[in-house]
Amino acid sequence: MNPRIVLCAPGPWKTLSQLAACRQDGWELRLDGRNPGLVRTFAAAPLPIEDQARIGAHVAVALLTSRPYAREDAPRFTHDATRMVLELFSHGAAGVWCETSGVIHPPNRWIELSDQAHLGFLQLKEGNGLDARYAIWEALYDAWVHSPATNDEDYYTCGMQLFAYADCAVARAAVPDAAAAHELMRAFSLYLLAEFADMQPGNTFRIAPGAPRFIVSRERDTIHDPLDLPHNPRGRWRLTPG
C-alpha cells in the first residue's frame, strides 16, 4: 500500500557512474539500454522540438525508483524527486517521465516547481503554517499529478497515490470543460493535502462560496490494472453535483 516513485530518463550515458550524483538515499538507480517505446511516450508531451530530437537520439534510459514510503514521508520523497529530476537534466537527460503517474514536464517547468516547493518548506520552518503548506502542496501536486486525465465518461487525476491519498474523478457531464475539471479536482485535492481534511463519503465540497456544490463518494480505481504502477490502491473520490 505504501507508494513509490519510478522515474524514467532517456539520455546519452554509457555507464552508471556518469549518474551517481543523481541518486539520493532511499532510491535505487539503474541504467538500461535504448527504449524505442519511450520515444513514443514522450512524443505526446508538450516538449520543445529540440528536446524531442534528443529523446529520439537517446542511447540509454536511467531508472530511479524510490523505496516504499509512508504518507508522512511523502512531502520529503516527492520534493527529493523534483531535485533528482533537475540533477538528471544537469547530467544530460533529454527528458524525464514519472512512470507512476504519467507526468512529463519541460525542464523549465521542473525548475519552477522544485523552487516553489523549496520556498514553501522554508516558509514552513519560519512558522507560516497553512500558507506554507499550500505553497508546498501546490508545487508537489502540479509536479506529480496528471490532471485532468480523461476517458469517455470522466475527468480524473492520476498520481495522488504518490502522496498516499485517493485520486479524484468527476463526470464529464458535470463540468463545463477540462479546465473546470482540473480546477475543481486540484482544489479538492489540495484541501485534503494542505488542511489534513477528514473527508468522508456523503460530505460536500465547493471551491468557493457560491460555487457549485459537489457530494463526495468513494470508489475503487477501476481504470488501472492493480499490477500497473499508476493504479491507486486507495481508490478515487468521486465528486457529484448536489
- CATH label of the domain that carries residue 12: 3.30.70
Domain containing 85 equals: 6-104
Of the residues 76, 104, 132, which one is the last residue of a structural domain? 104
Q: Is residue 121 part of a domain?
A: no
Residue 24: the pLDDT is 87
Q: Is residue 206 part of a domain?
A: yes
Q: Is residue 129 part of a domain?
A: no
Q: Is residue 166 part of a domain?
A: yes
Residue 1: the pLDDT is 80
Q: Is residue 16 part of a domain?
A: yes
- Whether 16 and 98 share a structural domain: yes
- Whether 150 and 228 share a structural domain: yes
Of the residues 104, 134, 162, which one is the last residue of a structural domain? 104
C-alpha cell recorded at residue 220: 475503487
Q: What is the pLDDT of residues 14-30, one digit of tens each?
A: 999 999 889 888 999 99
Please report, for residues 61, 171, 207, the alpha-carbon distance to residue 211 in angstroms, rounded to integers and kept in the order given: 46, 17, 6
Q: Is residue 164 part of a domain?
A: yes
**If you search the block for the grid coordinates 523549496, which residue do you land on?**
118
Q: How far apart are the C-alpha atoms of 179 and 194, rounded to whole Å? A: 22
For 30, list phi and psi in degrees, rounded to 5: -135, 150
Q: Show Cβ contacts of residue 115 under 8 Å, excluding neighbours closer than 6 positions.
A: none
Please report, for residues 42, 72, 94, 101, 106, the alpha-carbon distance to residue 39 in angstroms, rounded to integers and kept in the order given: 5, 35, 11, 17, 15
Q: Is residue 99 part of a domain?
A: yes
Residue 23: the pLDDT is 86
Intervals of the chain under pLDDT 70: none
Helix axes 36-43, 49-56, angle to 10 degrees: 170
- Whether 85 and 168 share a structural domain: no
- Whether 99 and 153 share a structural domain: no
- Whether 167 and 232 share a structural domain: yes
Q: What is the pLDDT of residues 151-165, one digit of tens each?
A: 999 999 999 999 999
Q: Is residue 135 part of a domain?
A: no
- Whether 22 and 77 share a structural domain: yes
Overall number of domains in the chain:
2
Give the residue among 56, 63, 66 at the shortest CA–CA distance from 94. Answer: 56
Q: How far apart are the C-alpha atoms of 35 and 53, rounded to whole Å? A: 14
Residue 204: the pLDDT is 97
Residue 165: the pLDDT is 97
Of the residues 85, 104, 123, which one is the last residue of a structural domain? 104
Residue 147: the pLDDT is 96
- Whether 10 and 80 share a structural domain: yes
Let me know: does 190 contact 141? Beta carbons within 8 Å: yes
